[in-house]
Amino acid sequence: MSNSYIKDPSARLDYSWDWSAWLAESADTISSATVTVPDGLTAVGPPVVDAAAVTQRVSGGAPDGTYRMVCQITTVGGLIDERSIYLAISDR
């Protein structure tokens, strides 16, 4: 799964972090998740946890900008980890 995407500034799209392989190694499940969206992007609603994936709907971004979104999860077993997704904004 890639962690870099191109997004049109007017698009409103879902981006997901897949934790399945990592969770399988630890035999754990996601208890909670937070997604940090930088200034210039807008989180549309809260992140959605679906089994081993976290999805955040995002809009906005300035053309030629690059943004880093961070997803942090806490597992039922008390583990904490975070991963990033990078969005390059370009008129499409």
What pTM, to 2 d.p., does this model score?
A: 0.93
pLDDT means per 10 residues, the chain with 92 residues, are 90 97 95 98 98 97 97 97 98 90
CATH class of domain segment(s) 4-89: mainly beta
Domain spans, the chain: 4-89
| Residue type (1 letter), 73 | I
